[in-house]
Amino acid sequence: MKPVTLKKQSYRSPDGPVVLLIMDGIGIGSLSDGDAVRSAHTPHLDWLREHALATSLQAHGTAVGLPSDDEMGNSEVGHNAIGCGRVYAQGAKLVNQAIAEGSLFQGSAWREITRTCLQNNGTLHFIGLFSDGYVHSHIDHLKAMLQHAKAEGVKTARIHILLDGRDVGETSALEYVEPFERYLGELNEDGKFDAAIASGGGRMHITMDRYHADWDMVKRGWLTHVKAEGRHFGSATEAIETLRREIPGVLDQDLKAFVIDRDNKPLGPIRDGDSVIFFNFRGDRAIEISRAFEDDDFDGFDRGCKPDVCFAGMMQYDGDLKIPSRFLVAPPTIERTLGEYLARTGVPQLAVSETQKFGHVTYFFNGNRSGKFDEKLETYLEIPSDRVPYEQRPWMKAAEITDKITAAIDENKYPFIRLNYPNGDMVGHTGIYQAAEIAVSCVDLCLGRVIEAVRRRGGILLVSADHGNADDMVERDKQDQPKIDPETGRVKARTSHSLNPVPAMIYAPADPAAWRLATGSERMGISSLAATCLTLLGYEPPADFDPSIVVRA
């Protein structure tokens, strides 16, 4: 179905812009301890809860297209849902289906991968996030591919693990490595297959950069995985334990790179004739390493002699740029997004964030589409992020984003404005509670400026989030009691996203009595924000969009 122009409602559009403000990682916690949103100084959020239309929305699990409601939401699927106006089956669910149905192993990409190994007597390499967090990857997907590779006659496999500590427990690496080593022992015991961990390191130290923010991360990964350069150890367990002793308190995501040896030789350098699968299904932190393997005119860093390999991603991470060219599972086809409808209708739009979330309010918001729908009608502003640990700059670029937004509201050139404050998510991932409190308070301070600008221009402000994070920063047991680190005696910090709902607040200062919450709004998901934006702008939402959370009073 091709995009069509939108129909106007019978009521007037607001005099000023409709502003969709996404507070990344700021959810509604259910427990007071460990909730940096609740303990932060947030007078403007508090004021909105009292004086605006306020409800909550679901932002995890099936509400955003994930396999089950046990799965946390994330920024990518969250912005897909917000911008697309309905729920699509997302990466994890699509890969689960492809494995269960066998289509992954029947596809041309898998056949090319295994054929290359068999013809060249080459090694099959797997690189990816090594956990069951279901945000970027899942270890069960890796196991399924290893088993199929062995069954199809591949003799050697090497796994290059990126330690998580972000979407799972912050120091849980050995909880994955040790059982996996036993699993590999069982897989190898008949002598027909040789699979082993060959290299690794923390996800925020090597390989998984995004938005071209720090190519040195990718270079470190390239040297580790491909060239087998760096510090060598006898096993992944030895590497992790040694690095933890040397840097007390280090989180898994920040562990330095390591290479595994056997008989005093590196186990898994990547050579001509090998095959490589990057098994992350989520795209943002997979694009740069994919380019390093595929681009002939690559300029991110000096790769040295690039091995001639057959490379595939778990999914295609950028459909417009065709990155990578070979992939195992097709991503969802998303069309007729909020941004596309507005562009076809002739409505100017502005999207603003800093580098860490710029792609979310553009690429992911637009349904995994690079570029613009209409160059004349759309303006995208990226504020370069600082390259420092987020706990050291928890305010990030919120003030600079707010400068751009308030100026645009006063100019009143764009009827629809969207922005993302990354602070609650990026600082929440550090596990540093004080920093997270400051991050949330900083977002609230900037929110106050946006409220005033919207009030001046007679616009409408819609405040929400893509998922929770800073609202739940303590690891808990099954009774919701905080877990205690046996070594330090301190409460273990949670660095992953939460399963909590997120706020949705609508402030219409020019005519607050014109709107009321729709019946059942508290049971809706963040996919309803698209129809809500269109309703506030004075347009009829498409019939297949999830319903608006507000209606005319």
Give the model's pLDDT for residue 370. 85
**In this structure, is residue 11 part of a structural domain?**
no
Sequence-ordered list of residues with C-beta below 8 angstroms from that of 106, at least 6 positions apart, any chain: none
Q: Considering 314, 329, 344, which residue would you say is the last residue of a domain?
A: 329
What DSSP designation does 468 have?
B
| pLDDT score of 485 | 83
348 and 478 assigned to the same domain: yes
332 and 89 Cβ atoms separated by less than 8 Å: yes
Predicted confidence at residue 2, as pLDDT, reads 61
Which range of residues forms the domain containing residue 542? 18-89+333-522+534-552
Confidence of residue 222 (pLDDT cuts 50, 70, 90): very high
User: Residue 210: its pLDDT value, please?
Assistant: 83
pLDDT of residue 278: 98
Side chain identity, residue 110: W
Residues 473, 391 within the same domain: yes
Domain identity same for 29 and 50:
yes
Dihedral angle at the C-alpha atoms of 87, 88, 89, 94, nearest 10 degrees? -160
- 387 and 428 both lie in a single domain: yes
**Least confident among 188-202, 332-346, 474-488, 526-540:** 474-488
Between the alpha carbon of residue 211 and those of residues 83, 215, 512, the distances in Å are 19, 9, 39
Last residue of a domain, one of 329, 352, 385: 329
To the question of pTM greater than 0.85 for the whole model, the response is: no
Q: What is the pLDDT of residue 3?
A: 65
In a domain, 12, yes or no: no
User: DSSP string of 133-181?
Assistant: -SSS--HHHHHHHHHHHHHTT--EEEEEEEE-SSSS-TT-HHHHHHHHH
413 domain-assigned:
yes
457's tokens: 């221009």
Is residue 57 domain-shared with residue 109, that is, in the same domain? no
- Could you say which of 39, 56, 75, 290 is catalytic? 75
- The model's pLDDT over 73-113, given as tens digits with 9 standing for 90+, comes to 888 889 999 999 999 988 888 999 999 999 999 999 999 99
* Residues 41 and 146 grouped into a single domain: no
Query: What is the C-alpha separation between 180 and 174, in angstroms, rounded?
Result: 9
User: Can the peptide bond before residue 486 be classed as cis, meaning omega within 30 degrees of 0?
Assistant: no
Contact 437, 39 (CB under 8 A): yes
Burial 199-228 (b: 16+ CB within 10 A, else e): bbbbbbbbbbbbbebbeebbbbbbbbbbbb
Q: Is 498 a catalytic residue?
A: no
- For the chain, the average pLDDT equals 95
- On whether residue 410 sits in a domain, the answer given is yes
Examine the domain organization and report whether 80 and 132 are in the same domain. no
Domain termination site, one of 329, 353, 378: 329
Do residues 71 and 104 both lie within one domain? no
E strand intervals along 316-429: 327-329, 349-354, 378-383, 416-421
CA distance linking residue 73 with residue 78, whole number of Å: 7
The answer to whether position 447 is within a domain reads yes
CB atoms within 10 A of CB 183: 16
pLDDT at 114: 98
Q: Is residue 13 part of a domain?
A: no
Give per-residue pLDDT as tens, 15-25. Answer: 999 999 999 99
Number of domains in the chain: 2
Indicate if 316 and 364 belong to the same structural domain.
no
Q: Which residue has the tokens 């911008």?
A: 83
Same domain, 100 and 142: yes
Please say whether the beta carbons of 389 and 216 come within 8 A.
no
Q: Do 163 and 202 contact (CB within 8 A), yes or no?
A: yes
Residue 317: which pLDDT band, with cuts at 50, 70 and 90? confident
Residues 112 and 131 in one domain: yes
**Three-state secondary structure string covering 478-491:** CCCCECECCCCCCE
In a domain, 481, yes or no: yes
What are the start-end ranges of the E strands in 343-424? Answer: 349-354, 378-383, 416-421
Q: What is the CATH number of the domain that holds 166?
A: 3.40.1450.10
Report the alpha-carbon distance of residue 330 to residue 498 in Å, rounded. Answer: 28
Task: Please indicate, yes or no, if residue 74 is contained in any of the structural domains.
Answer: yes
- Residues 195, 140, single domain; the answer is yes
**What amino acid occupies position 285?**
R
Share of the chain above pLDDT 90, in %: 85
Provide the sign of the torsion angle of the four alpha carbons 237, 242, 243, 247, taken in this order: positive
Note the pLDDT of residue 320: 56
Please, which pLDDT band fits residue 319 given cuts at 50, 70 and 90? low
Write the CATH number for 428: 3.40.720.10
- pLDDT value, residue 132: 95
